[in-house]
Amino acid sequence: MSDSQAQTNNKLLEAPGLSFIWKIRTTLGFVWRSGPGWSIASGVLILINGVLPLAFLYTIKLMVDLITGAVGATDQVGSAATEEQFAEMYFLVAVAGGLTVLQSLLQAGGRWVGEAQAQAVTDYMFGILHEKSVQVDLGYYENPAYRDKLHRAQREAPYRPKRMVNSLLQVSNNLVMLATMGALLVSYHWSVLPILLAASVPGVLMRLRYSSHYYSWERKATARERRSFYTNMLLTKVEYAKELRLFGLGPMLRAGFNILRRELRIEKLAVTRRRSTAEFVGEALAIVGVFGVLAAIGNSALAGSITVGSLIMYHGGLQKSWNCLGSMLRSVSMLYEDNLFVSDLFDFLAVEPNVLSPAQPKALPPIGSSPLRFKHVNFRYPHDERIVLEDVDFEIGAGEHVALVGHNGCGKTTLVKLICRLYDPTTGSISVGGVDLPELDVKVWRGSVGVLMQDFCRYQMTLRENVWLGNVELEQDDPRIAQAVEDANTCVEQLPEGMESMLGSEFMGGHELSTGQWQKIALARMFARGASLLVLDEPTSAMDAEAEEELIGKLREVAKGRTTLLISHRLASIKQLDRIIYLDKGRIAESGTHAELMALDGGYAHLYKLQSQHYRS
């Protein structure tokens, strides 16, 4: 979305009337693009269904008038109805039956078309949500307010647009039927339709009022609803099953879940009760108007002003009009409610990422021969006043292997996020080969970096797919995938189907692995990327000593000629690297080789001695 388009949309969203129209138009656009054929089919069915009831009622009128006329003639002259009258009656019965069968057929077709369109819209909206989800900044997911917004968007997006269209289609269908029935009733008296409309207004106003109340409650309840979903996840996900049992957390979590759900249930029922009561009052007022009109029509029949057939036709028209009017006004109020809820979807879609590519990005310098430079970088996370990194200034030469060490929470992982442009520095700059990272295409830059995150992912897929995800530009049978598996010393030889073995316990036939084995697979995924810049955040934290030693040796071999930044708390494994940077409270406190830092006898030396004394003892 361009800046000018985003500004235009924001202005529309600020004006209530324009906002309502804009949302409906945009939602209709979603539905149309999800399946134009289904939209056309729905429209055609609406038009036909709108005309059929009038044709049916008129046929019944003709049949009743024919029968009453024949019966009256029989009473007067004592002769039976003629063959022509019998034939005409059978013909009218056949027409009425045919119209009923046709309407039933169209209704069945409408249900099928509606379900097909609903599925198409749901899949299309999931696509839009997924596309936006991977575009927004990482900070969006680390902010609770944004997470609430995302939760509401995910909840509403799959079905609200389709329901809005259903409401519009229902309004259109009822308008067509109301127009035909209205023409019929106006032929009795011009005031019938205005009376029905006036009788329906109180109910509509009450529905609109309580739709706003319900929406306000839903927004306030989002955080508690998310917490209940989270508690449910804790109780049902395999990742938490062990601690749940070992610490006896089940009863406590279940009690907390029940309290939350009870609160939400009671509040929601209170809102619904008030809404239902108001709707009943509105319906009661409307019923008075309907039966008043019916009394007038019955009075006309008794006075002989209209025939019995006309009485039945007008009664059917009144009933149809009342049903159509009620359905249409309910659809309008539902459309209003859906318009409120779909605002959450548009709020989410309106979020623009801050980490963007420039309109004319510069060419990526050759990473293998270009230094990576941090220049007076300061950083704090959005919506957080704490400074995480302060005046960080250093350079990693091309092909240099550098370790980053320090206490927990000193900013090491944050520095990795900045290198990957998951965030941009608050002040200062990061450059490669003299080009600032924001001047590069963000996808091209990320594609040139091989990263192993501390909180690596465990994909419930085959081993081959797990590694291939590191470089989806390759074919899955590319030899480089198998080479990456070998370089990471993975457990492929222990799996019964080798590379095709399903990993994890989510699906049938899956093989659960140890955390260390999963970490090796994440490392293989990074190797498969073939990047000239490697960034590894605690790559051996879950491995035993032997596996760590093997992997560090392999890593030195794989990383030859590649610029490498390695974060580790195990200082014995990094002392052979070209340089070690000691980070303390977000600042670079020391920098040098292992020997230089030990001679300095500062923070690094203190940590190293703490670790090494355990081995000496």
User: Quick one: what percent of the chain has pLDDT higher than 70?
Assistant: 94
For 247-269, the pLDDT digits (tens) are: 888 888 999 999 999 999 999 89
Average pLDDT over residues 481-498: 86
Pairing mode, strands 372-379 and 563-567: unpaired
Mean pLDDT lowest among 163-167, 507-511, 564-568: 163-167
pLDDT number for residue 509: 87
Instruction: Report DSSP state, residue 15.
Output: S
pLDDT number for residue 502: 92
Please state which of the four CATH numbers 3.40.718.10, 3.30.360.10, 1.20.1560.10, 1.10.287.1080 is assigned to the domain occupying 3-350: 1.20.1560.10
pLDDT number for residue 148: 80
User: Quick one: what percent of the chain has pLDDT higher than 90?
Assistant: 26
Asked if pLDDT for residue 82 goes beyond 70, the answer is yes
Q: 386 by DSSP, 3-state: which?
A: coil
Most confidently modeled of 167-176, 476-485, 506-515?
476-485
Distance CA 613, CA 611 (A): 6
Structure tokens at 264: 């939400």
Could you tell me the fold of the domain covering 369-615?
Answer: Rossmann fold (3.40.50)
* Beta carbons within 8 Å of 264's beta carbon, 6+ residues apart: 221, 224, 225, 228
For 353-386, the pLDDT digits (tens) are: 888 899 999 999 998 888 999 999 999 998 788 8
Give the residue range(s) of CATH 3.40.50.300 domains in the chain: 369-615
pLDDT number for residue 13: 43
Q: Identify the residue with better confidence: 537 or 24.
A: 537
For 549-591, the pLDDT digits (tens) are: 777 777 888 888 889 999 988 888 888 889 999 999 999 999 9
Average pLDDT over residues 225-252: 84
Q: Where are the alpha helices (DSSP H) in 78-137?
A: 83-135
Burial class of 356 by CB neighbour count within 10 A (0 to 12, 13 to 18, 19+): middle
pLDDT number for residue 73: 57
Q: 189 by DSSP, 3-state: which?
A: coil
Distance CA 588, CA 575 (A): 18
Q: Which residues of 317-400 form beta strands (DSSP E)?
A: 372-379, 389-396
For 305-362, the pLDDT digits (tens) are: 777 777 777 777 777 777 777 777 777 777 777 777 777 788 888 888 888 899 999 9
Asked if pLDDT for residue 425 goes beyond 70, the answer is yes
Burial class of 535 by CB neighbour count within 10 A (0 to 12, 13 to 18, 19+): buried
User: Which helix or strand (DSSP H or E) is residue 535 part of?
Assistant: strand 533-537
pLDDT number for residue 586: 92
Give the residue range(s) of CATH 1.20.1560.10 domains in the chain: 3-350
Distance CA 495, CA 594 (A): 40
Q: Where are the alpha helices (DSSP H) in 237-249?
A: 241-246
Question: Which of 388-424 are b and which e, b meaning 16 or more Cβ less than 10 Å from the residue's Cβ?
Answer: bbbebebebebbbbbbbbbeeebbbbbbbbbbbbbbb
Which residue from 337, 342, 331, 343 is spatially nearest to 211, judged by alpha carbons?
337
Angle at 470 between CA 534 and CA 418, to 5 degrees: 45
Is residue 366 within 8 Å of residue 562, measured between CB atoms? Answer: no
Mean pLDDT of the chain: 83
Is residue 217 within 8 Å of residue 268, measured between CB atoms? Answer: yes
Distance CA 192, CA 290 (A): 9
pLDDT number for residue 617: 54
Q: What counts of helices (H) and strands (E) characterise the chain?
A: 19, 10
Q: 424 by DSSP, 3-state: which?
A: coil
Asked if pLDDT for residue 465 goes beyond 50, the answer is yes
Q: Indicate the pLDDT class of residue 480, thresholds 50, 70 and 90.
A: very high
**pTM, whole model, 2 decimals?**
0.71
* Beta carbons within 8 Å of 154's beta carbon, 6+ residues apart: 129
Q: Identify the residue with better confidence: 63 or 177.
A: 63
Structure tokens at 553: 């040796």
pLDDT number for residue 151: 78
pLDDT number for residue 9: 45
